[in-house]
Each structure stands twice: as C-alpha cells, then as structure tokens.
C-alpha cells in the first residue's frame, strides 16, 4: 500500500469528533482488479472513477505500508468489525488501511505522525479520542482464515491467469480425504468443486486441521452435507435443533453431531436440552468462522451485558 486511501467512512466519529476532517481528493480511473467487486465500503462496487486522498505526504520510497487484506477472510465475519478506509494498493477491494475490532485499532500508515498530512493528523487525534471509549470492547480470538480463501484463488485466476492457487494451494489446504476428491485442478474443476462443497467446509476443530505451511486445513462436513445444511446459516442451526428434538434416526444423529461440532463449548447445554438452550441463547449468538467455526456469543452482546448494571446496583 502506498501513502493514500479511499472509500473513507466519513460519517464515522474518527473523521468527525473532535475534529471535523476534510481530505482533498483526486479522482482517478477505477483499477482493473476492482471491476465487478464489492466491499463493505463499496457495497455497490466502484464507479468509473474513485477518489484518492493522502494520509502521508509522499509514497514510501524504499518500502511499503501494510494493508489489512480482505481476501483471505481474516476479519470479514467478525460482528462489530469496523471498515473505516481502504488502502491504495494492487490488492483486492476491501483491503483496509484503517479498521477497528474490539479494543484494537489498525492504522496502516507507517510514517511518523508529524510527517502525515494535516487531515491524517486530525484523524489520528480523533482515533485516540474514539478508542478511549473502547477500552471495554471485546476482541474475538483469531484461529483461522475462512473458506473465502478458496474463492480468492478463482478470482486471481480470472484477473491475472494465476493458476498456482487452484493447482497447489487449494488442494494443499484440504485434509487428505477431501483433497483426493479434487481431481480436476483447472478453473472449471475448482468452480465445480466449490459449488458442491464450499458451503460445508470447516476447520479449527483438532490436530487434523493443523498445517505447518498453511496454518489451517479444511474438511467437508459430511453430516451437514447429507442434511443440505450449510454450516454457517442460522436456518441450518434451526434445522439441526428441530431434528435433534425429533424421532430417533440417522438424521437426528447427524444433527446432534453438527450441534456438538459448531456450538461453542462455553455455551453448549450441559443437560442436552437443545430446545431450552436455544430459547435462552437465540438472540445472543452468531456464527464466526475465523474463531474456529463456532456458534458463539456475539462480542457486542458481551459488551452490552458487561456494561449493564448488576441487580441491586443503581445505574450510573
């Protein structure tokens, strides 16, 4: 990433309080790798031109600034994650220069603050004010990239003709059993394999999902596949709950295994009463893939609960 950014979330407090920040901008043609893409800050995609603003006075001469790259699924599924500015680079749309998750703020411009532009200095002061109020924010634990990484290999092939991701990195991140099913290692073969299996991929559950090279290995959930219940959807969770409460049989056993596999042990019912558990937890839980593929308590819910006065304690 160079010294510039774009797609700023100008309605966010870091651009408004206590300093009202205004960045001079330069309109430039849309980058080729942004065509047809969307992101949180560009929900409708990038138009024929987009506006670049400078955070540093000059581009780094002998190095580059780090950007928080979206395409490997490091953060896109974390509730409450704030996408605040995209960095100017050759990376995919959605790669960020400013972001917040929990009590951590990501500032991607590496130069000394006094050498940043005046609007960037004002923004940095605003960030300090904003983060003062986030000391009690919850930060989720990162365990693994998400299944989005497999889609990236196809995107890179479409953009540049890059084949190594499809031929080597995609099978390299599958456990042996499912690697053997991926025999057509062409763009068409990868597309077909992912259409069939990507909704059921999971990782982060044991030593079989560890990789020295790739950090994580993915597996297809045969139970979820047999039930046609993609593992990240609430309607799938509710289908498992309905089957778990139903008549004995193979589908019930599959559903129970899915519940045990994806409901975080910190909140799973100790007595096995899944119906009562869901009545209590329904509005508290979310599925987060990058923490290890769990239905777990939404960190924003934990923040609200921690901030709420306890019984018998007067509200401040």
Structure confidence by residue, pLDDT tens digits, 109-149: 988 888 899 999 999 999 999 999 998 898 888 888 899 88
End-to-end CA distance of the chain: 45
Structure tokens at 207: 């030593």
In sequence order, the 6+-apart residues with CB closer than 8 A to the CB of 67 are 1, 87, 89, 91, 95, 96, 97, 108
In sequence order, the 6+-apart residues with CB closer than 8 A to the CB of 156 are 162, 165
What pLDDT does 71 receive? 62
CA distance 53 to 8: 9
Angle at 218 between CA 214 and CA 219, to 5 degrees: 155
DSSP labels for 215-261? EE-BEE-HHHHHHT--TT-HHHHHHHHHHHTS-SSHHHHHHHHHHHH
pLDDT, tens digit, for every residue of 11-69?
A: 999 999 999 999 999 999 999 888 888 888 999 999 999 999 999 988 877 778 887 77
Q: How confident is the model at residue 314 (pLDDT cuts 50, 70, 90)?
A: very low
Q: How confident is the model at residue 74 (pLDDT cuts 50, 70, 90)?
A: low
What pLDDT does 72 receive? 61
What pLDDT does 315 receive? 42
What pLDDT does 234 receive? 97
What pLDDT does 62 receive? 75
Distance of CA 309 to the CA centre of its chain: 31
In the predicted structure, residue 311 carries a pLDDT above the cut 80: no
> What are the residue ranges spanned by the domains of the chain?
4-132, 146-220, 229-316
pLDDT, tens digit, for every residue of 140-185?
A: 888 888 998 898 888 888 878 899 999 999 999 999 999 999 999 9
CA distance 95 to 44: 16
């Amino acid at each position: 990433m160079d010294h510039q950014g774009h797609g700023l979330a100008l309605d966010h407090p870091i651009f408004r309080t206590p300093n009202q920040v205004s960045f001079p901008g330069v309109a430039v043609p849309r980058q080729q790798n942004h065509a047809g893409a969307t992101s949180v800050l560009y929900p409708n995609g990038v138009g024929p031109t987009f506006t670049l603003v400078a955070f540093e006075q000059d581009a780094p001469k002998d190095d580059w600034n780090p950007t928080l790259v979206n395409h490997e699924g490091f953060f896109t599924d974390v509730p409450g994650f704030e996408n605040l500015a995209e960095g100017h680079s050759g990376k995919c749309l959605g790669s960020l220069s400013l972001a917040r998750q929990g009590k951590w703020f990501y500032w991607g411009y590496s130069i000394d603050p006094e050498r940043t532009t005046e609007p960037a200095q004002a923004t940095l002061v605003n960030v300090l004010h904003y983060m003062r109020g986030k000391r009690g924010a919850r930060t989720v634990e990162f365990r693994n990239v998400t299944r989005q990484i497999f889609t990236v290999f196809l995107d890179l092939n479409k953009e540049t003709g890059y084949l190594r991701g499809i031929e080597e990195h995609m099978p390299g991140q599958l456990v042996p059993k499912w690697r053997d099913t991926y025999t057509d290692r062409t763009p068409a073969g990868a597309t077909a394999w992912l259409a069939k299996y990507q909704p059921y991929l999971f990782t982060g559950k044991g030593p079989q999902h560890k990789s020295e090279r790739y950090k994580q290995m993915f597996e297809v959930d045969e139970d979820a596949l047999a039930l046609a219940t993609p593992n990240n959807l609430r309607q799938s969770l509710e289908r498992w709950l309905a089957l778990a409460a139903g008549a004995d049989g193979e589908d019930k056993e599959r559903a129970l295994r899915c519940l045990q596999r994806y409901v975080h042990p910190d909140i799973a019912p100790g007595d096995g009463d899944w119906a009562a558990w869901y009545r209590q937890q329904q509005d508290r839980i979310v599925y987060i893939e990058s923490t290890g593929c769990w239905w777990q308590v939404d960190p924003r819910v934990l923040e609200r609960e921690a901030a709420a006065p306890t019984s018998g304690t007067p509200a401040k």
